[in-house]
Amino acid sequence: MAKILVADDELSMREFLKILLTKEGHEVICAVDGEEALTLFQSHPCDLLISDIKMTKMGGLELLGKVKESRPNMAVVMITAYGSPEDAITAMNAGAYDYLTKPFKVEEIKTVIRNALSLPGKKAAEEPPAGIFNNLVSHSPKMLKIFNLVKQVGVTKTNVLISGESGTGKELIARAIHQLSLRQGKPFVTINCSAIPDNLMESELFGYVKGAFTGALANKKGLFEIAHGGTVFLDEIGDLSSTIQVKLLRVIQEREFIRVGDTQTLAVDVRLISATNKDLEQEIIQGRFREDLFYRLNVVHFHLPPLRERREDIPLLAQYFLEKFSRELGKDVHSISSYALEELVKYNFPGNIRELENIIERSVALENSNIVLPDSLVLSEYKKEGRKTEIPSFQLTPGGLDLEKELGELEKELLQQALQLSNGVIKKAAELLHLSFRSMRWKIKKYGLKGFKD
In whole angstroms, how far apart are CA 437 and each of 79, 338, 428?
55, 38, 9
Distances (CA, A) of 434 to 279, 298, 408: 12, 22, 17
Residue type, 229: G
Q: Is 267 exposed, middle or buried (0-12, 13-18, 19+ CB in 10 A)?
A: exposed
CA distance 148 to 157: 17
Say if CB 138 and CB 130 are below 8 A apart. Answer: yes
Is 15 within 8 Å of 9 (Cβ atoms)? Answer: no
- How far is Cα of residue 451 from the mean position of the Cα atoms in its chain? 27
Dump pLDDT digits (tens) for 220-269.
Answer: 888 999 999 999 999 999 999 999 999 999 999 899 988 888 888 899 99
- The DSSP secondary structure of 359-423, one letter per residue, reads HHHHHHHH--SSEE-GGG----GGGSTT----PPPP---TT---HHHHHHHHHHHHHHHHHHHTT
Give the DSSP letter string of 102-122. SS--HHHHHHHHHHHHHSTT-
Pairing label, strands 131-133, 98-101: unpaired
In the prediction, which pLDDT does 451 show? 62
Q: How many CB atoms lie within 10 A of CB 126?
A: 14
Strand (E) positions, 200-336?
207-208, 220-221, 231-235, 256-258, 265-267, 271-276, 300-303, 335-336
The pLDDT score that the predictor gives to residue 380 is: 63
Partners of 301 in beta bridges: 161
Residues 145, 69, 129: CA angle, nearest 5 degrees: 55
- Do 112 and 96 touch, CB atoms closer than 8 A? no
- Tell the burial category of 245 from Cβ atoms under 10 Å away from its Cβ (0-12, 13-18, 19+): middle
In this structure, what DSSP letter does residue 226 have?
H
Inter-axis angle of helices 11-23 and 106-118, nearest 10:
60
For position 86, what pLDDT does the model report?
64
CA dist 355 and 348 (Å) reads 10
Blockwise average pLDDT, block size 10, the chain, 454 residues: 89 90 91 92 88 87 88 84 64 76 80 73 42 72 88 86 93 92 91 85 87 81 92 94 92 90 88 94 93 92 93 90 91 81 89 92 85 78 42 61 78 84 81 83 82 62
**If you compute the radius of gyration of the chain from its CA atoms, what whole number of angstroms results?**
27
pLDDT computed for residue 24 by the predictor: 87
Query: Do strands 265-267 and 256-258 pair parallel, antiparallel, or not at all (unpaired)?
Result: antiparallel
For the entire predicted model, the pTM comes to 0.58
pLDDT at position 59 is 87
Are 134 and 147 in contact by the 8 Å Cβ rule? The answer is no
Please tell me the predicted confidence (pLDDT) of residue 325.
Answer: 92
**All domains of the chain in start order, with CATH:** 3-118 (3.40.50.2300), 132-303 (3.40.50.300), 312-383 (1.10.8.60), 403-447 (1.10.10)
Of 414, 412, 425, the C-alpha closest to 354 is: 425
What integer pLDDT is reported at residue 42 of this predicted model? 87
